[in-house]
Amino acid sequence: MSTAPAGRNPGSGRLLLTITPNAAVDITYRVDGFQLNRVHRPAETRTLAGGKGINVARVYRELGGQAFASGFLGGRNGRLVARSLQRQGIPGRFARTAGESRTCICIVDPLARTQTEVNEPGPEVSAHEVERLCALVRRLLGRGGWSWLVLCGSLPPGAPPWLYAHLIETARRAGVPAALDASGEALREGLAARPALAKPNLVELGHAAGRALATLPDALEAARRLRGTGIERVVVTLGGDGAFCVGPRGEWRCGAPAIRFVSAVGSGDSFLAAYLWALDKGQGDREALVLGVGAGAANAEVYGAGLCSRERILGLADQARPAEIRPGAR
């Protein structure tokens, strides 16, 4: 299943290649005063192609980069996702599944400042379908011209937990750095394959470390241990508290600027897109962290994942104040 415009060579130029194994139709309802056991009529509805890698591609493109989307798609929802990507100008090529791609619903109540998510598990994928995706990624990587392979989100039922690790190794053989944003066993196995960049949130970092991380010093220690395994960059998002990075030329922390909060859905994806975009522009981790925090904050101001504007991202990044973490600091 392809979303590439006619005649386009997806391997031409320097593109971000995003893999979303569990893509979705994302529906966001704005319901003022949402309550359980009540009938509600949303004040606003947004429907668009979703899944973490697709969100990354959307924001990366908004910043001025080129992105190419891949993963699994199936059924009517899969066709809706493909058409949505075409409308947004995001080319892609997907492995088909016999099962229906999932729907994810988010109910945002701006009055109570709550968000309620109902995410379907996704289609059951077969071993043959997994191999089809792996073969597709191998072919795409073999064409060259990719800046990063970005592996994002949950795996659908039936997908082996080693899938991300396998694709990281595939990217390494093709000379393409891999960025990983996952959770659970897929994250743990993916980290063991040593991606060039890992972007867990605080909870995911704790799961990878095998313990709860109650303080920033605990999180820093866990991130340093991960980097010591051969991962070049460990970048940890902290929600409304910003993010920090442990990289090859230092460690930085950056708080989030003040915003009018709407929804956090997609903020981590927006952060990752901006971080990679900055690195691709030759900027260092400090600048990438600042831009990432600006993108995460800009995303949190709007309904729908990855719909923040370049102008707002840059404006909020200008308000961010990074601080270097001194060697040995706890």
Tens-digit pLDDT profile for residues 50-67: 999 999 999 999 999 999
Residue 10 clears pLDDT 50, i.e. is over it: no
Residue 224 has pLDDT above 90, yes or no: yes
pLDDT band at 233 (very low <50, low <70, confident <90, very high): very high
Q: What per-residue confidence (pLDDT) applies to 328?
A: 62
Residue 9 has pLDDT above 90, yes or no: no
pLDDT band, residue 6 (cuts 50/70/90): very low
Q: Of 9, 22, 5, 120, whose CA–CA distance to 70 is shortest? A: 22
Name residue 197's beta-bridge partners. Answer: 179, 233
pLDDT confidence band for 4 (50 / 70 / 90): low
203-228 in b/e form (b: 16+ CB < 10 A) is ebbbbbbeeebeebebbbebbeebbe
Rounded to 10 deg, the angle between the 184-192 and 202-209 helix axes is: 70
Higher pLDDT, 81 or 326: 81
Q: For the residues 102-114, what does the mean pLDDT come to?
A: 94
Whether 312 shows a pLDDT value over 70: the answer reads yes
pLDDT band at 8 (very low <50, low <70, confident <90, very high): very low
What predicted TM-score, i.e. pTM, was given to this entire model? 0.94
Give the CA diameter of the chain: 55
The CATH class, in words, for 15-20+51-75+124-325 is: alpha beta
CA 221 to chain centre: 24
Residue spans per domain, the chain:
15-20+51-75+124-325
For the annotated catalytic residues, the residue numbers are 269
The tokens for 65 are 């980069």
HSE value, Cβ hemisphere, 13 Å, CA-based, for 194: 9
pLDDT digits (tens, 9 = 90+) for 276-289: 999 999 999 999 99
pLDDT of residue 329: 60
Q: For the chain, what is the mean pLDDT?
A: 94
* β-pair type (146-152, 15-20): parallel
